[in-house]
Structure 1
């Protein structure tokens, strides 16, 4: 197997693996580095409703650029002369579009919209990814809010 062929097929595999590493967990039991070791306010309440949702994936330049590189590499292996140049450019454009779409699809998450009636009478809605916790209607929960305004629901 030629070195160019190995590179041509290993680059897409490495990029797909890198994209799966970009998925940021948004569940109630995963904390970002910024929220660790910070005082957070806690309110108690009762779950009034639950609804499954999809949390959109990210579209950063990483997906588009990576796809363009892979598409350009694949296109450069087609034909020769002007045809090769056109295939390289077309592959880069198509790869950029595909890379962006792949990144968005890979980083999408299943989520849950949790409506909580707080003990103070206020009703709040929080969307978080489906993590290790299972919630049910009428369940007592904690709503934890970080200084930056992000909130999460955890079993109370």
Structure 2
């Protein structure tokens, strides 16, 4: 039983670190490779804002891997002999699925779909993570920074 508790603690720690490692999708966050790169600046007015949910990671191996380890440890403590092998495998599979779902839920973010009217009259839309529960509002004057396929909206 203590192995199960230890495994659960390890899973929680790994998922917490994985959540911290997720790249921020706000307008104020930059990756290291984005620093010192040229960005094209445009100005616009927010036409409309719609709250959206940005789905969590489902491609990460951290949640599934940690869940499989914990599930395998838990399964191995059930039964004996051949039964123990079967419950180890079943525990690992179930733990992997549960870990993946936990990782998706913990990495889900509140977003906003912004419809913007550029100064040249063009209407564009972008989805961006909400930072500190502060939504843009219709009528706000904003700055748009573009670099390749990446766009961010700031004040």
Q: Distance in 1 between matches of 2:29 and 2:102?
A: 24
Q: Cα 1:137–1:57, aligned 2, differ >3 Å: closer, same or farther? A: same
Match of 1:108 in 2: 108
RMSD over equivalenced CA pairs, Å: 1.8
1:154 is aligned to 2:142: no
- Gap regions ≥5 residues in structure 2: none
Deviation at 1:7, TM superposition (A): 3.3
Q: Is the 8 A contact 2:51 2:111 kept in 1?
A: yes
Q: Is the 8 A contact 2:54 2:129 kept in 1?
A: yes
Q: Cα 1:151–1:5, aligned 2, differ >3 Å: closer, same or farther? A: closer
Deviation at 1:6, TM superposition (A): 5.8
**Deviant stretches of 4+, over 6 Å:** none
Q: Distance in 2 between matches of 1:143 and 1:8?
A: 45
SS at match of 1:125: strand
SS at match of 2:79: coil
Q: Distance in 2 between matches of 1:83 and 1:9?
A: 22
CA shift digits 1:3-62 (9 cap, x unpaired): x46633432232232232233210111111121111100100110000000001112122
- The number of aligned residues is 153
Q: Distance in 1 between matches of 2:99 and 2:114?
A: 33
Match of 1:39 in 2: 38
Q: Is the 8 A contact 1:116 1:125 kept in 2?
A: yes
Q: Distance in 2 between matches of 1:134 and 1:101?
A: 28
Of stretches 64-73 and 7-16 in structure 1, the one that deviates more from structure 2 is: 7-16
CA shift digits 1:83-113 (9 cap, x unpaired): 2111101100001111111111111100000
Q: Distance in 1 between matches of 2:42 and 2:61?
A: 38
SS at match of 1:71: helix
1:29 is aligned to 2:37: no
1:70 is aligned to 2:81: no
1:56 is aligned to 2:31: no
Q: Is the 8 A contact 2:112 2:135 kept in 1?
A: no
TM-score (norm 1): 0.90
